[in-house]
Amino acid sequence: MDLKLSKVVSDLLSAQKDYNSHAYADCFSETALVIDEEKEYKGKRGIKNWIEKANEQYKTAMEPIRYSGTYSTGILTALISGDFDGSPIALDYHMEIAGNKIVRLEITVSDEE
> Tens digits of per-residue pLDDT, 33-68?
999 999 999 999 999 999 999 999 999 999 999 999
Q: Is residue 45 part of a domain?
A: yes
Expressed as residue numbers, the domain containing 69 is: 7-109
DSSP 63: E
Instruction: Reply yes or no on whether the pLDDT at 2 is more than 80.
Output: no
Question: What's the total number of domains in the chain?
Answer: 1
Q: Is residue 1 part of a domain?
A: no
Do 101 and 29 touch, CB atoms closer than 8 A?
yes
Amino acid 4: pLDDT: 85
Q: Is residue 2 part of a domain?
A: no
Amino acid 29: pLDDT: 98
Distances from the Cα of 60 to the Cα of 51, 70, 87, 106, angstroms = 10, 27, 10, 17
Do 96 and 71 touch, CB atoms closer than 8 A?
no
- Give the CATH number of the domain where residue 69 resides: 3.10.450.50
Q: Is residue 79 part of a domain?
A: yes
Q: Is residue 19 part of a domain?
A: yes
Amino acid 112: pLDDT: 72
Rounded Cα distance, 53 and 68, in Å: 28
Summarize pLDDT for 70-113 with one digit per residue, the tens.
Answer: 889 999 999 999 999 999 999 999 999 999 999 999 999 999 75
Q: Is residue 93 part of a domain?
A: yes
Rounded Cα distance, 61 and 37, in Å: 17
